[in-house]
Amino acid sequence: MSEADHTERFAVSAASESETKTVVEARDFEFVVDEPAQLGGTNDGPNPVEYLIGAWAGCLNVVVHTVAEEHGIDLDDVEIEIAGDLDPRRFLGVTEEGRAGYQAIDVRITVESDADPERLDAVADEVEARCPVGDNIENPTPTDVTIDRA
């Protein structure tokens, strides 16, 4: 069986409500993406890069529970903190230097568990390798952006 036979396609659609505010639909859900006031938005929702790391946190939560269960480790509580540094000057068009995205992202997963540190380290390595959102952040994914006239 080919790799393509095992893929699932995920999609969203989005409509612009203003220069900074977007309403996104995913399956039967809708959410608002907006910029904070200091970046010209109305602060009606998290901004795109906050959703990116929020999506990573959600994905890590699923994967850490899955991997821990596979290893026979009980997790009583899981908390995930993610923070990254980003220089907005590139996407604002102020400079062409540097990256438009995060320069670095720090992830800390804190668990309540009786598992010893060595077992948790093994789980952490496997979680990092198996998390789809983390994989997309850590490795270049081919993209194709086009703009069509209505």
Write the CATH number for 102.
3.30.300.20
Please say if the pLDDT value at position 2 is more than 70: no
Q: What is the domain range of residue 131?
A: 47-139
Q: Are residues 31 and 69 in the same domain?
A: no
Q: Are residues 58 and 121 in the same domain?
A: yes
Number of domains in the chain: 2
- The DSSP code sequence of 31-58 is EEE---GGGTS--SS--HHHHHHHHHHH
Separation between Cα atoms, residue 9 and residue 105, nearest integer Å: 27
> Are 53 and 90 members of one domain?
yes
Task: Evaluate whether residue 144 is within a structural domain.
Answer: no
CATH number for the domain harbouring residue 21: 2.20.25
Other Cβ atoms less than 10 A from the Cβ of 43: the count is 14
Rounded-to-integer distance, Cα 109 and Cα 125, Å: 12
Task: Give the model confidence (pLDDT) of 103-121 as tens digits.
Answer: 999 999 999 999 999 999 9
Residue 83 belongs to some domain of the structure: yes
Same domain flag for 60 and 109: yes
| CA-based end-to-end distance of the chain | 40
| Cα–Cα dist 33/51, whole Å | 8
Residue 54 domain-assigned (yes or no):
yes
- Looking at the fold, whether 74 and 52 belong to one and the same domain comes out as yes
What's the whole-number mean pLDDT along residues 42-51? 98
Is residue 146 assigned to a domain?
Answer: no
- For residue range 7-40, list pLDDT tens digits in order: 999 999 999 999 999 999 999 999 999 999 998 9
Which amino acid would we find at residue 98?
G
- Alpha carbon of residue 23 to chain centroid: 18
Predicted confidence at residue 1, as pLDDT, reads 52
How confident is the model over 58-87, as a mean pLDDT? 98
Annotate 54-113 with DSSP letters as a single string. Answer: HHHHHHHHHHHHHHHHHTT---SEEEEEEEEE--TTTTTTS-SSS-SS-SEEEEEEEEE-
Q: Is residue 149 part of a domain?
A: no
**38 within some domain:** yes
Q: Give the residues across from 24 on adjacent strands.
A: 14, 31
CB 82 within 8 A of CB 107: yes
Averaged pLDDT for residues 83-105:
93
